[in-house]
Amino acid sequence: MNKNMSYDAVMDRRSEIMKKSVGIDYNDFEYEGMGFDYERMMNETGYTLDEIREIQGSTGVGNTPLIELKNLTALARKFASKGNGARIFIKDEASNPSGSFKARRAANAVYHAKKLGYKGVIAATSGNYGAAVASQAAMQGLKCIIVQECYDSTGKGQPEIIEKARKCEAYGAEVIQLTVGPELFYTFLKLLEETGYFNASLYTPFGIAGVETLGYELVEQIREREGRHPDVVVCTNAGGGNLTGTARGIIKAGAKYTNIIGASVNLKGLHMASDKLFNKKSFTTGHTGFGIPFSTWPDRSDVPRSAARALRYMDRYVLVNQGEVFYMTEALAQLEGLERGPAGNTSLAAAFSIAQELKEDEIIVVQETEYTGAGKHIQPQLSFARENGIEILFGDPKEEIQGENIVLPSHPSQIKAVDTDLNKLKASYIKNCIKNTGAKEATIEDIEFLIKETKSSNEFVKNTLENLNINIK
């Protein structure tokens, strides 16, 4: 008997499809109230950190260089107060086989798929993760399908996404490109059901545990070189997995007092699901269109409970503008001889500004870079912006208006990371938690869960619940 493959029917079967395609019954981790057992879910991977490092090492993933950016540090010190200007280091994740840190997530997920006997893997992504999954699938001899949200309704696609499709196809993957809209998740679910392939989601425990090695490594490398832990680690933040995995690895390495700062490109007002606005942005990841909604409700992802939960680990969240990131991409190339993709330099732009707030003897680590080339390079991205009516000019980045212009700094002193109100995001998460779970009251267990989820105090959570008219039992 043929299954009903209509949109509504497939969406109604999503829990069943997910269970078969991931091998995890997420219901096992649910508490009676609002929360779930996050650490138990993470332990579901069944792999220790050492085992994950061995898995990654078998395909050439990990052990990437840590490079001190002496020239950019010197430049930052020119604009800092006397005695300020922390040393800037960068973890060069472009050295991974597919050119980004996401090889760490993919290595773990694809290895596990093969271990469980799946014949292939599927991932829904327009970013570097698709190339990472395709690369690892090729190494493990598995089939691979990558589903991309690539075009607007006129068939116009962003050069960065098209470049990533090329890379996926180079590794032998089948790439299915869609227009922006709700068909992405429907197509993804339908393919999982039809093929019986493994869901190599960005948001499973396997994927996030893979990034823990990145945080662990950078602490090891700083400790070996400097005899101490880094003071600050800046992570580009989109869906939250980069920051979550890195922070968990940093903690496991013993660096409990290292500050974890998330950084996103400010794309305020550009809705990611809008056909009209889809091509008005020059960044397809690492921006507020993902960073803020996924922080305030991580479970909007393609699995019932996302393992990427940035608010659990974030000490500070800053925004930088598109022009600032493009500028820092050029500065990295011309001052340090490292040509890397713009999106990965979001955290570098933020770190350049934050370093000026810190003392000279402090250490700030930019925890990832990504490869560049073809559509991922600055020039095609700026050309595409012009074609879509975006004005490109030099000036003060504060004057950048998202969707209207890109303002390249006329001087490096103008690069300034701007803080986002973390408490506002935490309150928004609690509000979304109540809305999505249908909770009418909060138990002591609920409050304990929310404290961990938002890395906040008992008082903050209780006050937020009271402001939302939620009775505390």
Is 239 in contact with 301 (CB distance < 8 Å)?
A: yes
Q: Which of the four pLDDT bands, split at 50, 70 and 90, describes residue 200?
A: very high
- Global confidence as pTM: 0.96
What is the DSSP track for 346-400? HHHHHHHHHHTTSBTT-EEEE-------GGGSHHHHHHHHHHTT-EEEEE-GGG-
pLDDT cut 90: percent of the chain above it: 78
What is the rounded CA–CA span in Å between residue 236 and residue 234?
A: 7
Instruction: Give the helix/strand (H/E) hosting 432.
Output: helix 422-437
Mean pLDDT for all residues in the chain: 94
pLDDT tens figures, 151-197: 888 888 888 888 889 999 999 999 999 888 778 888 999 999 999 99
At 27, is the secondary structure helix, strand, or coil?
Answer: helix
Q: Which of the four pLDDT bands, split at 50, 70 and 90, describes residue 373?
A: confident
Q: Which of the four pLDDT bands, split at 50, 70 and 90, describes residue 375?
A: confident
* Residues paired with 287 in a beta bridge: 265
103, two tokens:
């090889």
Listed by start position, the domains of the chain span 57-273+281-420, 422-472
Is 296 in contact with 429 (CB distance < 8 Å)?
A: yes
pLDDT tens figures, 93-134: 999 999 999 999 999 999 999 999 999 999 998 889 999 999
235 pLDDT exceeds 90? yes
**Could you tell me the fold of the domain covering 57-273+281-420?**
Rossmann fold (3.40.50)
Beta strand pairing status for 198-199 and 120-124? parallel
Question: What phi and psi values does residue 13 have, to the nearest 5 degrees?
Answer: -95, 10
The stretch 55-67 carries a mean pLDDT of 97
Give pLDDT, residue 18.
85
Residue corresponding to tokens 């500065």: 331
Q: Which of the four pLDDT bands, split at 50, 70 and 90, describes residue 280?
A: confident
Give pLDDT, residue 283.
86
